[in-house]
Copies of this chain bind each other. A is one copy, B any other.
Amino acid sequence: MTTHYLEDLQPGQRFRAGSRSIALAEIQAFAREYDPQPFHLDPEAAKATIFGELVASGWHTMALTMRLIVDGEARPAWGFAAGGVEALDWPNPVRPGDTLTAESEVIEVKPSRSKPDRGVARIRITTHNQRNEPVLVVTARVIVPKRSAGA
């Protein structure tokens, strides 16, 4: 894993993260705690819902994506401390048994105007399933220190 400072980042850079499978029981456990709706809990009841089948909560997909990114090949020196999210979409559903793979791309790098020791990197993270279909696309602002600021 490499640790990045603001000076190390430029638009177009891509970083890989790992991959992970998601089982029915995990989908249901997350949903029971955080998103208890029929289409995330019950395969039979899900058939009559807008999804037509049991799918993972979009927040579960986001949380798993975060884990893949945190465990990935690159890390900003202060960690992944998001200044906010500009857009988050789930282009395709995540189903039990899917294997998810995440990657990130630097979109823009901006020094802070008010704080000389840091800047903001706009990062787009995309998560694909095993058929290479995108299941999550999120654009986030990450606070990144300049090298002079130290770790």
Contacts and interface: CB of A to CB of B under 8 A. Distances in A.
How would you classify the secondary structure of chain A's contact residues: helix, strand, loop or mixed? mixed
Given A35-B70, A79-B39, A87 B90 contact: no
Count of chain copies: 2
A54 to B, nearest CB: 13
Contacts of A81: 39, 50-51
Chain A interface category by residue count? 20 to 34
Nearest to A33: B67
Contacts of A70: 35-37
Interface in A46-87: 49-51, 57-59, 62-64, 66-67, 70-71, 78-82, 84-87
Interface of A: 30, 33-39, 49-51, 57-59, 62-64, 66-67, 70-71, 78-82, 84-90, 143
